[in-house]
A and B are shown apart, each in its own frame.
Chain A
Amino acid sequence: MMLLLFLWQTLRIAAPYLLAAAGGVVAERAGVVSLTLESFLLSGAFGAVAASHWGQSAWIGVLGGLGAGLFFGALHALATVRFKADQIVSGVALNLLAVGLTRFLLQMGFDSSSNSPRVPGFEGLGHPLLWLGLLIMPVLAWTLAHTRYGLRLRAVGEHPQAAESLGISVAKVRWVAVLASGGLAGLGGAFLSLDQHQFTDQMSAGRGFIALAAVISGRWQPMRAGVACLLFAAAETLQIQLQAAAAIPTQFLAMIPYALTLIAVAGVVGRSRPPAALGRA
Chain B
Amino acid sequence: MTTLAIQMTGIDKRFAAVQANRGASLEVAKGEIHALMGENGAGKSTLVKILAGLQPPDAGQFFVDGREVTGWTTPQALTAGVAMVHQHFMLVPTLTVAENVVLGREPTHGLRLDRQAAVQAVRDLCQSSGLQVDPNRLVADLSVGEAQRVEILKVLYRGAQVLLLDEPTAVLSPPEVAELWGVLRRLQQGGATIVLISHKLDEVMAISQRVTVMRQGQTVQVLDTAQTTAAELARAMVGRDVDLDVQRPENQAGKPLLRVTQLQVQGSRGQPALLGLDLTIHAGEILGIAGVEGNGQSELLDALAGLRPYQGSIKLADQELATLSLSQRTQAGLAHVPEDRHQRALILDYSVADNLILGKLAEFSRRGVLDQRAIAAHAAELIAEYDIRPTDPQVPVRGLSGGNQQKVVLARELSRSFKVLLAAQPTRGVDVGAIEFIHARLRQARAQGKGVLLVSSELREILTLSDRIAVLYRGRIVAMLPRAQASESVLGAYMTGAAQAVTHG
Contacts and interface: CB of A to CB of B under 8 A. Distances in A.
A150 B154 CA distance: 19
Nearest to B109: A146
Interface string B99-118: 11001111010011101000
A154 B112 contact: no
Interface string A167-181: 110000000000000
B94 A148 contact: no
Nearest to A275: B94
Contacts of B91: 159, 162
B191 interface: no
B54 interface: yes
B253 interface: no
A223 interface: no
A242 interface: no
A154 B115 CA distance: 16
A164 to B, nearest CB: 7
Contacts of A97: none
Contacts of A151: 95, 99, 103, 106, 113
A146 B86 CA distance: 28
Given A146-B112, A147-B112, A151-B99, A167 B92 contact: no
A159 B104 contact: no
B78 interface: yes
A150 B75 contact: no
B93 interface: yes
Contacts of A161: 90
A167 B74 contact: yes
A86 interface: no
Contacts of A148: 106, 108, 113
B84 interface: yes
Interface residues of B, number: 25
B86 A165 contact: yes
Query: What is the interface of chain A mostly: helix, strand, loop, or mixed?
Result: helix
Contacts of B100: 162
Contacts of B84: 165
Contacts of B78: 166-167
A103 to B, nearest CB: 41
Nearest to B89: A162
A276 B93 CA distance: 10
Contact of B113 (A150, A158, A159): A150
A155 interface: yes
A155 B74 contact: no
Contacts of B108: 147-148
A162 B94 CA distance: 12
Interface string B381-411: 0000000000000000000000000000000
Contacts of A150: 113
A159 B74 CA distance: 16
Given A148-B106, A159-B90, A159-B93, A165 B113 contact: no
Contacts of B94: 154, 158, 276
Contacts of B105: 166
Nearest to B99: A151
A163 interface: yes
Contacts of B74: 164-167
B92 A162 contact: yes
A197 interface: no
A165 B90 CA distance: 8
A164 B93 CA distance: 15
A76 interface: no
Interface string B50-62: 0000100000000
Interface string B107-139: 010011101000000000000000000000000
Interface string B352-367: 0000000000000000
A152 interface: yes
B486 to A, nearest CB: 39
B446 to A, nearest CB: 40
B113 A155 contact: no
Nearest to B84: A165
A166 B73 CA distance: 11
B95 to A, nearest CB: 6
A97 to B, nearest CB: 31
A100 B54 CA distance: 43
Contacts of A155: 92, 95, 99, 103
Given A151-B99, A158-B93, A162-B90, 8 more contacts: A146-B112, A151-B106, A152-B104, A162-B103, A163-B104, A165-B74, A165-B86, A166-B154
15 contacts: A147-B112, A148-B108, A154-B92, A154-B94, A155-B99, A158-B92, A158-B93, A158-B94, A162-B92, A165-B84, A165-B90, A166-B105, A167-B74, A167-B104, A168-B104
Shortest Cβ-Cβ A-B pairs, 4 listed? A166-B104, A167-B75, A162-B90, A159-B92
